[in-house]
Amino acid sequence: MNISTSWLREWINPNVTDEMLAEQLTMAGLEVDGIESVAPAFDNVVVGHVVSCEKHPDADKLNLCQVDIGESDNLQIICGASNVRADLKVIVATVGAKLPGGLKIKKAKLRGVESFGMICSESELGMSDSSEGISELDSDAPIGQDIREYLDLDDNIIELDITPNRGDCFSVLGVAREVSANYNKAFEMPKFEVDAQGASSISTSVSNAQACPKYLTRVIKDIDNTIKTPKWMADKLTRSGQQVHSPVVDITNYVLLELGQPMHAFDFSKINGAIEVRNAKAGEVIELLNETTVELNNDTLIIADDSVPLAIAGVMGGMGSSTQDDSTQILLESAFFEPVSIAGKARNYGLHTESSLRFERGVDFNITEVAMDRATQLIVDICGGEASNINTCVDESALPELAPITITQEKIQKILGFELEANWIEEKFTNLDFEISSKTDHSWTIIPPSFRFDIRIPADLIEELARLYGYDKLPVQKLSLDANINAVSESMVDKYDIAQGLVSRGYQEVITYSFVSEQYQDLIDPDAKKITLSNPISADMSTMRSSLWAGLLQTVESNQRRGHTNARFFEIGLCFNGV
Residues 552 and 459 in one domain: no
Helix (H, G, I), strand (E, B) or coil at 255: helix
- The pLDDT of residue 538 is 84
Write the DSSP string, 357-382.
HHHHH---TTSHHHHHHHHHHHHHHH
Q: Looking at the 3D structure of the chain, how many domains does it have? A: 5
Tell me whether residue 575 is in a domain. no
Q: 190: how many CB neighbours lie within 10 A of its CB?
A: 8
305-318 burial, b at 16+ Cβ within 10 Å, e below that, comes to beebbbbbbbbbbb
Q: Does 483 score more than 80 pLDDT?
A: no
Residues 110 and 132 in one domain: yes
Give pairs for 523-527: CB < 8 Å, separation 24+: 524/549, 524/550, 524/553, 525/549
| Domain with 131 in it | 45-147
Tell me whether residue 113 is in a domain. yes
Selection from 468, 462, 430 nearest residue 449 by Cα: 430
Average pLDDT, integer, range 202-208? 93
CATH number of the domain bearing residue 25 = 3.30.56.10
- The pLDDT of residue 485 is 56
- Choosing from 447, 473, 499, the residue where a domain stops is 473
Q: Does 482 score more than 60 pLDDT?
A: no
CATH number of the domain bearing residue 378 = 3.50.40.10
Say which amino acid occupies 34.
G
pLDDT tens digit sequence for 228-272: 999 999 999 999 999 999 999 999 999 999 999 999 999 999 999
Selection from 550, 554, 556 nearest residue 569 by Cα: 556
Helix (H, G, I), strand (E, B) or coil at 540: helix
Average pLDDT, integer, range 53-71? 91
Residues 430 and 301 in one domain: no
Tell me whether residue 61 is in a domain. yes
Spatial contact of 538 and 516, defined as CB atoms under 8 Å apart: no
Tell me whether residue 32 is in a domain. yes
- The pLDDT of residue 479 is 57
- The pLDDT of residue 480 is 61
pTM of the predicted model, to two decimals? 0.79
pLDDT tens digit sequence for 15-40: 999 999 999 999 888 889 999 998 89
- The pLDDT of residue 481 is 55
Selection from 103, 102, 65 nearest residue 86 by Cα: 65
pLDDT tens digit sequence for 484-503: 556 666 666 788 888 888 99
Q: Does 77 score more than 90 pLDDT?
A: yes
**pLDDT exceeding 70 applies to what percent of the chain?**
97
319 confidence band (pLDDT: 50, 70, 90): very high
Average pLDDT, integer, range 365-370? 96
Q: What is the mean pLDDT of the chain?
A: 91
Q: Does 507 score more than 70 pLDDT?
A: yes
| Distance of alpha carbon 105 from alpha carbon 93, whole angstroms | 7
Average pLDDT, integer, range 195-213? 90
Average pLDDT, integer, range 145-165? 92
Helix (H, G, I), strand (E, B) or coil at 477: coil
Spatial contact of 132 and 120, defined as CB atoms under 8 Å apart: no
- Choosing from 349, 369, 398, the residue where a domain stops is 398
Residues 285 and 330 in one domain: yes
pLDDT tens digit sequence for 262-301: 999 999 999 999 999 999 998 899 999 999 999 999 999 9
398 confidence band (pLDDT: 50, 70, 90): very high
335 confidence band (pLDDT: 50, 70, 90): very high
Q: Does 138 score more than 80 pLDDT?
A: yes
CA angle (407, 408, 413) in 5-degree steps:
115
CATH number of the domain bearing residue 54 = 2.40.50.140
CATH number of the domain bearing residue 505 = 3.30.930.10
